[in-house]
Amino acid sequence: MGVVHHTVYPVWFEMGRTELLRSTGRNYRDLEAQGILLAVVRLEARYRAPARYDDLVTLRTTLRSAGHVKIEHDYELRRGDEVLAIGSTTLACLDREGRARPIPEGLFDSTTNPQPIHTARR
């Protein structure tokens, strides 16, 4: 078919979240070592046009909000000026036992709120 399978898009969203967190000077590995787990509890994707094999696509990842326990991201996948897909996720902050826990102070607040990040993928 020559098109990217729909299950790849959530993987790209995860890569965008990872890079957005990295842009704040933090990373998932260190958070997990501290017993802070961020689990996807909701994922939505709307496909507008197919990405094709070997397309150069750009993903824009934005932190929409960070509350007491949940973090929301928005995504926009483009090939040039064409929007291929939009999506959103909600993550819950959990402890090692899988119980909800507060998002650590300073992880996402007015001083660390990351700017939208663009990542390119083939």
Instruction: Report pLDDT digits (tens) over 63-81.
Output: 999 999 999 999 999 999 9
Neighbour order of strands in the sheet with 37-47? 37-47, 82-94, 70-79, 57-66, 117-121
The reported pLDDT for the residue numbered 113 is: 60
Q: pLDDT band at 105, cuts 50/70/90?
A: confident
Query: What average pLDDT does the segment 83-104 reach?
Result: 97
The count of other CB atoms within 10 Å of the CB of residue 48 is 10
Written as one letter, the residue type at 68 is H
- Of 7-11, 75-79, 103-107, least confident by mean pLDDT is 103-107
The reported pLDDT for the residue numbered 61 is: 93
Write down all domains in the chain, each with its CATH number in brackets: 8-121 (3.10.129.10)
